[in-house]
């Protein structure tokens, strides 16, 4: 992928090395890599931060990789290529949506952190993975997730990393369009449909990521194999694959993000159409 970081950090908050991890209890129980991976998978399956429940500090996220335990300068330097991809993808996707919506679009902010931080939605840890908080309209990521995306989920490459950011910016687009608050209200009124509505919300964000991906292709920014890398990343974080890895079984009734097949299908739909209107997962009779 040939998407350049133009150096614009006007909508980026770099909290790495701010010491917030210790303030949030980072000095608790320390897990080894094996225990961390298991608890990470279980947290994703049960949709609950089990690290916080047991007061554990993960050995993954920003601390993963060969620079674990190194001074902040070395850790930050080692993440420079990952930071450039994340920021470039974030800025570019926002420019695309600004171009599509004009003044209706209000910019989100990207927060880079290590291990733990605070968000408008509460405490956030690296083990949660990247996420969007509608309360403060910010995308949060510990760049160590990219190493997990490659090693644990088998989805390496810049476009796979860009897909992650584009998906979260897709959630911001849902907030801007008024979709996200409508879904949250529907979940409140119909708790029995909470998971099903969540799946449709997540698949729409995948589709929006695909629309952005199409724009990069039209600008000749993609290299051979990039689309496949994006599809691979979408499939890798499907609920069925995560559940199978964590528990050895798959429970579709507990899906909150969609299966690998669904996530790749909706990403591809956005990519093939290049249109926001093609991403109405809520009108689709079947996903």
Task: Determine the pLDDT at residue 49.
Answer: 57
Structure tokens at 15: 């909290």
Measured from the Cβ of residue 240, the count of other Cβ atoms closer than 10 Å reads 20
Which residue from 55, 2, 72, 60 is spatially nearest to 36, judged by alpha carbons? 60
Task: Report the DSSP beta bridge partners of residue 122.
Answer: 119
List pLDDT tens digits, range 250-278.
Answer: 999 999 999 999 999 999 999 999 999 99
List pLDDT tens digits, range 211-247.
Answer: 999 999 999 999 999 999 999 999 999 999 989 988 9
pTM (2 decimals)? Answer: 0.83
3-class SS of residue 195:
helix
- Report strand pairing: 122-125 vs 29-30: unpaired
């Amino acid at each position: 992928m040939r998407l350049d970081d133009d150096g614009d950090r006007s909508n980026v908050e770099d909290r790495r090395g701010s010491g917030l991890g210790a303030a949030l209890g980072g000095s608790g129980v320390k897990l080894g890599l094996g225990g961390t991976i298991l608890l990470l998978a279980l947290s994703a399956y049960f949709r609950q931060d089990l690290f916080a429940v047991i007061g554990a500090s993960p050995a993954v996220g920003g601390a993963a990789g060969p620079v674990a335990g190194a001074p902040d300068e070395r850790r930050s330097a080692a993440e420079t290529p990952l930071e450039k991809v994340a920021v470039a993808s974030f800025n570019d996707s926002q420019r695309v949506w600004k171009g599509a919506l004009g003044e209706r679009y209000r910019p989100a902010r990207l927060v880079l952190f290590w291990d733990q931080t605070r968000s408008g939605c509460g405490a956030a840890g690296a083990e949660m993975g990247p996420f969007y908080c509608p309360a403060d309209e910010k995308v949060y990521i510990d760049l160590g997730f990219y190493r997990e995306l490659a090693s644990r989920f088998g989805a390496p490459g810049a476009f796979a990393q860009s897909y992650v950011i584009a998906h979260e910016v897709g959630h911001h687009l849902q907030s801007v369009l008024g979709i996200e608050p409508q879904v949250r209200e529907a979940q409140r009124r119909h708790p029995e449909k909470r998971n099903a509505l969540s799946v449709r919300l997540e698949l729409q964000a995948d589709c929006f990521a695909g629309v952005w991906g199409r724009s990069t292709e039209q600008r000749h920014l993609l290299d051979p194999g990039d689309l496949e890398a994006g599809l691979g990343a979408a499939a890798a974080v499907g609920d069925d694959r995560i559940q199978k890895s964590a528990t050895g079984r798959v429970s579709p009734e507990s899906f909150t993000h969609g299966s690998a097949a669904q996530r790749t299908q909706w990403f591809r739909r956005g990519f093939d159409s290049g249109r926001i209107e093609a991403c109405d997962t809520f009108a689709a009779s079947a996903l």
